[in-house]
A and B are shown apart, each in its own frame.
Chain A
Amino acid sequence: MSKRWFASLFVMVLTLGSATAQSGTELRFCLWSEPKTFNPLLVQDDSSETVRYLTGGVLVRLNRQTQQLEPELATAWKTSRDGRTITFALRQNVKFSDGTAFSAEDVAHTIQQMMDPNLHSPTGDSFRSGEGKVETKVLWADKIAILFPAPIAGLDKLFDQVAIMSAKSPKKERAVLGPYYVAEYKAGSHLNLERNPNYWKHDSSGHQLPYIDSVRLDIQQNRDIEILRLLRGEIHLVNSLNAEYFDKVIAEKPALVHDAGPSMDSEQIWFNQVASAPLPAYKKAWFGSTNFRRAISESINREDLSRVVFRGHARPATGPVSPGNQFWFNTRLQPHPFDQKAAMKRLEQDGFRVQNGALRDKDGNAVEFSVVTNAGNRYRERMATMIQQDLAGIGIKLHVVTLDFPSLIERIARTFNYEACLLGAVNIGLDPSEQMNIWLSSAENHQWNPGQKAPETAWEAEIDRLMRAQASELNEKKRKEYFDRVQEIAWEQEPFIYLVNRNALSAISTSVQNAHPVVLRPQVFWNIDRLSLGSEVAQK
């Protein structure tokens, strides 16, 4: 208890910007779970991703604010015309946190490790374009070419995720090139990151970055406690808030919260269209019908979902790309309007009719189905309940079933014993190539009907073609045309009925300077090396 008291006092002293604080500045925030790995190539969960972002040095970095690529360890780069080779010119006189020199060898080592098929690196998976080996050619100590077996669209942007590891350092992945290194890790409790003394970046006045001396990451699973600690000034920021916490914080300390607008994440419903699913044939016929899916979509009041469930901190969604994605969003598309009359017309085209208040198909089967969602997510539970009432408006009986995540995944990915599912999609990157595994009909994450041997519908075949075309096209404008068309087909066919895009909400202490929360992850600390605390910059 006394320790916590002391800690809060310590933070209080910091936040007051006291000039007597000689012990260095410390930024504090919470991780929601234990980081599963410190190997940057194996990162998959959010906590490990945070650690990688804070510690890893990358060749190029996607500026989270401008959504443009910027040089980091690579001063220049060039993709060959066939899209298979990328050449990087590397920054000189850069050292890892342990003092080992950085060279093209390290990049080659990292790439080779990453592409090792036995490692199953999620980062490496986005680089897998075709059969064959990836080659690395060290041209000089500061120049390297990487050759891929097949062209990869948006290749340079993928390197934003690749933290370079040392080929020589005995510390292996603990030797880093980013602004901080992991100095202490106490499982179940916290991580301490100290500033990397060898970090290469300097500000315009020549002062070495980062400004903040250390970052303490407390492992805190309970969001309530996290928010309380924020309000008490024990932590500096919360990277991602939900709508209720946002309102809670705004009521007490309005200066802390930021709403950066629609995030990349979406919430959607889809119907099970798997041919072998253990469902009655008439239900498969409903779910396979474009008219039926469109009718359901038009019967859902997305404005209400945004307003009631997300308290206005969400926007009706249009499709797989959020309007927050400046380049790739198809501006010609609008969210499906709430129009139950139009929905009824579509249903009548398929022979549905309303009898005694209940919708029946042409064979007289009452339209009744269940939607599964993951338990414990109140937003999804509430959305499902609102959709339940919306659909009752056209005579459909919807059952809401909440399941724990493993049971849910088993149903939607193994046994296909479900009718409809409500889940969210998290998009980490901006590039459509990252959605390949969702849109290709042969992919495992083609949720509504995964792993098809050959596309089962004409529109899925068309999406396959367009996705492949955009992946092998290097001209961004052409790629955008292809992917715009994918978005249009998705809008017309609605294999996913997109509901809302949640806004990117965050909170940040007023003592943290230079913070510009954005929609891309990591929303608040994307410019970690330029954040400062109190009057710290002036002092130095």
Chain B
Amino acid sequence: MAKHVAIILVTVLLGGLLGATLIRFAPGYGVDEQELDARLSAGSIEALRRASAPDENLFLFYGHYLKRMVHGDLGTSRTLQRPIAQLLRERLPDTMKSVGLGALLGWALGLALAIPVAMSRAWLVDALASVMAGILLCIPVAVLALLFVLTRAPARLVIALIVFPKVFRYARNLLVRSAALPHVLTARAKGLSHAGVFVWHVLPLAGAQLLALAGVSVSLAFGASIPVEVVCDLPGIGQLAWKAALGRDLYLLINLTMMVAVVTLAANSASDLLGGAFGRSEA
């Protein structure tokens, strides 16, 4: 457990540094849109440039940043002019709710379709479900979100529709393969019920992989929250990330990168641990 935590910590810190490097050396860093304001005097433009690009060695900067973070200060967002801790506090619950709900619903829908397909192998059900997943994959997120806005449906459900086809596709393939293995077929031939076959033979085989998929789908849902929140105007982390990226808000972006890293790593580590337990029980 301690080892896991240590790995997570090192990876997150590395993620922060790598993220900072990517941002720092990408074009447009330290540029402010307001520089184009013709009303500004040369002095003000100079001040603007100085303020938006702290001229500091990247490692030194990161060191200072971590030192402050240890003391509980996450810094201030340059574009929004507000403390980052406050911004995260305001926006995190909303996004967590959408991401959690979206991932959960997406999974429920995905499994609800994948399991019958795998167990019954009914061609028509399979074809219909596959086509439905395919359609959802083809519709741009913005169009989907717009549809929800137009019909006044809760926009956060869009995340579920983004997660669903991916979950379905993987889960279907994994379960179908497991259901086709010789010993599963034998069990079925011996007259074990569908449910019995699924619980005792198929699930243990595909369990670890499904869990890995669950871990991944958290980062998937997080990724989906960006376009959804931007299109639907939901004041969450995704929208914040988009604004931060466009404004090259270094502090905010480092915090967000580290936060996403923590969530991704935690979800995946949890799924690894559980998957490991699965593997052992099976052996």
Would A and B touch once assembled, by the CB under 8 A criterion? yes
Q: How far apart sit A374 and B205, CA to CA, in the bound complex (Å)?
A: 51
Q: How far apart sit A275 and B144, CA to CA, in the bound complex (Å)?
A: 48
Q: How far apart sit A436 and B37, CA to CA, in the bound complex (Å)?
A: 12
Q: How far apart sit A368 and B31, CA to CA, in the bound complex (Å)?
A: 29
Across the interface, do B149 and A187 meet the contact criterion of CB distance under 8 Å? Answer: no
Scoring B residues 79 to 95 as 1 if CB is less than 8 Å from chain A, else 0, what string do you get?
A: 01110000000110000
Closest chain B residue to A446, Cβ basis: B38
Q: How far apart sit A36 and B247, CA to CA, in the bound complex (Å)?
A: 13
Chain B residues within an 8 Å CB radius of A407:
27-28
Across the interface, do A224 and B149 meet the contact criterion of CB distance under 8 Å? Answer: yes
Interface residues contributed by chain B, number (CB under 8 Å): 38
Across the interface, do B33 and A125 meet the contact criterion of CB distance under 8 Å? Answer: no
Chain A residues within an 8 Å CB radius of B149:
222, 224-225, 228
Q: How far apart sit A425 and B39, CA to CA, in the bound complex (Å)?
A: 12
- Given A36-B81, A44-B37; A228-B232 close (CB under 8 Å): no
Check if A188 is an interface residue, CB within 8 A of chain B.
yes
Chain A residues within an 8 Å CB radius of B34:
44-45, 122
Across the interface, do A128 and B41 meet the contact criterion of CB distance under 8 Å? Answer: yes
Q: How far apart sit A45 and B230, CA to CA, in the bound complex (Å)?
A: 20
Across the interface, do A437 and B150 meet the contact criterion of CB distance under 8 Å? Answer: no
Scoring A residues 401 to 445 as 1 if CB is less than 8 Å from chain B, else 0, what string do you get?
A: 000111111110110000000010100100000111110000111
Chain A residues within an 8 Å CB radius of B73:
none
Across the interface, do B81 and A125 meet the contact criterion of CB distance under 8 Å? Answer: no
Select which of B29, B36, B48, B150 is within 8 A of A445 by beta carbon: B36
Most buried by B among A1, A125, A436: A125
Across the interface, do A409 and B231 meet the contact criterion of CB distance under 8 Å? Answer: no
Across the interface, do A120 and B43 meet the contact criterion of CB distance under 8 Å? Answer: yes
- Given A188-B90, A406-B247, A437-B39; A414-B31 close (CB under 8 Å): yes
Across the interface, do B235 and A189 meet the contact criterion of CB distance under 8 Å? Answer: yes
Q: Is the interface of B mostly helix, strand, loop or mixed?
A: helix
Across the interface, do A437 and B81 meet the contact criterion of CB distance under 8 Å? Answer: no
Across the interface, do B42 and A413 meet the contact criterion of CB distance under 8 Å? Answer: no
Check if A221 is an interface residue, CB within 8 A of chain B.
yes
| Contacting residues of chain B (213-250) with chain A, CB-CB under 8 angstroms | 230-233, 235, 239, 246-248
Scoring A residues 110 to 131 as 1 if CB is less than 8 Å from chain B, else 0, what string do you get?
A: 0000000100111101101000
Check if B127 is an interface residue, CB within 8 A of chain A.
no
Chain B residues within an 8 Å CB radius of A529:
none
Closest chain B residue to A429, Cβ basis: B39
Across the interface, do B36 and A120 meet the contact criterion of CB distance under 8 Å? Answer: no
Closest chain B residue to A4, Cβ basis: B152
Q: How far apart sit A435 and B37, CA to CA, in the bound complex (Å)?
A: 10
Check if B47 is an interface residue, CB within 8 A of chain A.
yes
- Given A406-B247, A409-B31, A437-B39; A125-B44 close (CB under 8 Å): yes
Check if A34 is an interface residue, CB within 8 A of chain B.
yes
Chain B contacts to A: CB under 8 angstroms: 27-29, 31-45, 47-48, 80-82, 90-91, 146, 149-150, 154, 230-233, 235, 239, 246-248
Add 16 more A-B contacts to A228-B149, A409-B32 (CB < 8 A): A36-B80, A120-B44, A188-B90, A222-B231, A405-B246, A406-B27, A406-B28, A406-B33, A406-B246, A406-B247, A409-B36, A411-B27, A437-B39, A444-B40, A445-B38, A445-B40
Chain A contacts to B: CB under 8 angstroms: 1, 34, 36-37, 44-45, 117, 120-123, 125-126, 128, 187-189, 220-222, 224-225, 228, 404-411, 413-414, 423, 425, 428, 434-438, 443-445
Q: Which 5 A-B pairs have the closest CB atoms?
A: A406-B28, A188-B235, A407-B28, A125-B41, A120-B44
| 13 A-B interface contacts by CB (under 8 A) | A188-B235, A224-B146, A228-B150, A405-B28, A406-B28, A406-B31, A407-B28, A409-B28, A437-B40, A444-B35, A444-B42, A444-B45, A445-B36
